[in-house]
Amino acid sequence: MARRRSGFAGRPRGRGRRRAQPDAPAAVQEQQIPTEPIEIPAVLTVGELAEKIGTGPVETIKLLMRRGLMVTVNDPVDFANAAAVAGSIGVKVLRPQEEEESIAGEDAAAEVEEADPNAVLRPPVITVLGHVDHGKTTLLDSIRNSSVVDLEAGGITQSIGASQVDRDGLKLTFIDTPGHEAFTMMRARGAQITDIVVLVVAADDGIMPQTNEAIDHAAAAGVPMVIAINKVDLPGSDSERVKRELAERNILVESWGGDVVSVEVSALKGDGIDDLLENLVLLAEVQELKANPDTAGVGVCLEAHVDPSRGSLASILVRSGTLKVGDQIVVGKSRGRVRGMVDTHGNAVKTAGPSDAVEVMGLGSVPEPGIRLDVVASEKVARRIVEDREKEDRGGDSRSLATLSEVMRRLNAGDAEELSVIIKTGTQGSIDALRRSAEQISDDEVQINLIHAATGPVNESDVMLASASGALIMAFETGTQAGAEKQAGIHGVDIRQYNIIYDLIDDLRSAGRGLLAPIENEVVLGHAIVQAIFPAGRRYRVAGVRVLDGEIARTSSIRIQRDGEAVYTGQIASLRHFKDDVHELAAGLEGGVGVEGFIDFQEGDILEVFEIQLEVRS
């Protein structure tokens, strides 16, 4: 079958043949849910969790999805989420004794904090969710009197951002999340760490795919929701339609007799902003959110990236306790000492208390977004925890992006083409979004193989890897080092720069289509009937025919049909009109047709002439 050239001209393409995998066992022995407390490490995979709590991987994934975690069987799960899933089916868990002693503070669960007699009221964490271009960031700009949206590529949010505002003496911590479909995990991450969700719905657009997804995230997180019906000042806006569509999702706003607060706003004009803030303050007061600021800090990583001059930076939301400059911290498999912190207003700070969001400098590597931060007693303890976690990862399947095609191989059977890609991004969270987009593009016919993905600018090592593996380099919200550009020119490596995720995903999808063999479509050109058979040499015969419809072209393929059955398919060897060789015979004309490899003509045979037209897959 003919192959269409890749949409990226001049680049070598990674190709791989997949071996058939053995079938899964017809039945899997049912596991028993343990009755005694089980020991769960700080991080384990979904498959390992399923084995420990006695449920199947599919059921465990479902339980995690109810908590807003979109995971696969090889993805890591932290202790807090693993314990919550185990508890939901009645399994008691224990943290390994070694880590119980080394990690200061308990898991940042609200119930623990509220039970602490020293807990005090803390600011609410409010996550803004909604469909792309419904005005989430513009709404936040109106709240905090800023213009963040003007600084974003394409006018869309492409990473999780945090900000804090003061309302009548009460601090409100806002988290902005991307609306594009590629950033599902970012929105899930935002919903998991929030106290209140503000769902932004454009009055002129109504409920859209990411709106529905945001509703699901809020429901999974089990937090109250406030509806901000935005763009009410635009022509064609219809707030009642939005309320009706929400009702179809079993969300009844107060004006429709329900208990969900809805506020009509115009983010651009500032209309309704005060009303929205008053409702958020009231909802926070009713919840009586508390935490103890006098314990060691516990937080969660919102986002992370590498700064050329400051090293690894992590945006941290403090959930309980106080994080201080000089603290030894562990974030997943990253560790370090807090060398500096900057608050959401760009001011250097020494401490960060419950619900504060800060950018932390001092980690030795870029941590995974969504991973918990713990303050530990010493550098020695931090090192031991990270070594143990790395050892656990080496002992099982890794979440490495380079294994995407291997995962796909286990899920599919048959042959597959591969496009090898190296992705460099400005922030760590973007890697997860792009990985999931690649998974959606990959299918049983084409693989998008992410052989490497990391934050930071494209460097010479990336180019060397791309040259050796025939990979394309895609850089999202990051640059290319001068040395890397020179090496790319020498080795013919294609480096593509993007500031808008839509463009990158579209190109990735186009590249995937370019790897697929084009679809073969058979087009019938005409029919002829055999009226006589003439010898043409000792071992060759020609059929005398009359063209019934269409035309017969010398370059066409031909199918010989007898009594409604195809008896032979081949190529036309000769075509004559009387004594002349011709290129084609039109309807109504008579002539002679010779067929390569076939002489057994019979009068009354129907010759069907056709050609194969190639269609590029969409």
Q: What's the residue count for the chain?
A: 618
Domains (ranges, CATH) in the chain?
31-95 (no CATH), 123-288 (3.40.50.300), 298-389 (2.40.30.10), 401-515 (3.40.50.10050), 519-615 (2.40.30.10)
CA separation for the pair 7, 9 (Å, rounded)? 6
Cα atoms in the Cβ-side hemisphere of radius 13 Å centred on 506 = 6
Q: Pairing between strand 446-455 and 416-425?
A: parallel
Confidence (pLDDT) at 32: 67
Structure tokens at 358: 């800060």
User: Which of 25, 24, 54 has the alpha carbon at shortest distance from 40?
Assistant: 54
Confidence (pLDDT) at 406: 36
- Collect all residues with Cβ–Cβ distance below 8 Å to 78 and sequence separation of at least 6: 42, 43, 332, 371, 372
Confidence (pLDDT) at 388: 81
Confidence (pLDDT) at 116: 64
Confidence (pLDDT) at 88: 78
Structure tokens at 403: 């294994």
CA 451, distance to chain mean position in Å, is 16
Confidence (pLDDT) at 396: 45
Confidence (pLDDT) at 82: 82
Residues of the chain with confidence (pLDDT) below 50: 1-30, 97-114, 146-160, 179-188, 191, 396-416, 516-517, 616-618
Q: Pairing between strand 541-553 and 590-595?
A: antiparallel
Torsion sign (Cα): 537, 538, 540, 542: positive
Distances (CA, A) of 281 to 7, 176, 491: 53, 18, 59
Structure tokens at 268: 């651009």
Confidence (pLDDT) at 446: 61
Confidence (pLDDT) at 405: 36
Confidence (pLDDT) at 578: 85
Structure tokens at 264: 């009509």
Which pTM was predicted?
0.52
- DSSP 8-state symbol, 103: B
- In DSSP notation, 542-559 reads EEEEEEEEEEEETT-EEE
pLDDT digits (tens, 9 = 90+) for 277-313: 999 989 988 888 888 898 888 888 888 888 888 888 8
CA separation for the pair 459, 258 (Å, rounded)? 56
Confidence (pLDDT) at 265: 93
- Collect all residues with Cβ–Cβ distance below 8 Å to 436 and sequence separation of at least 6: 182, 184, 185
Confidence (pLDDT) at 114: 44
Confidence (pLDDT) at 340: 93
Backbone torsions φ then ψ of 48, nearest 5 degrees = -65, -40
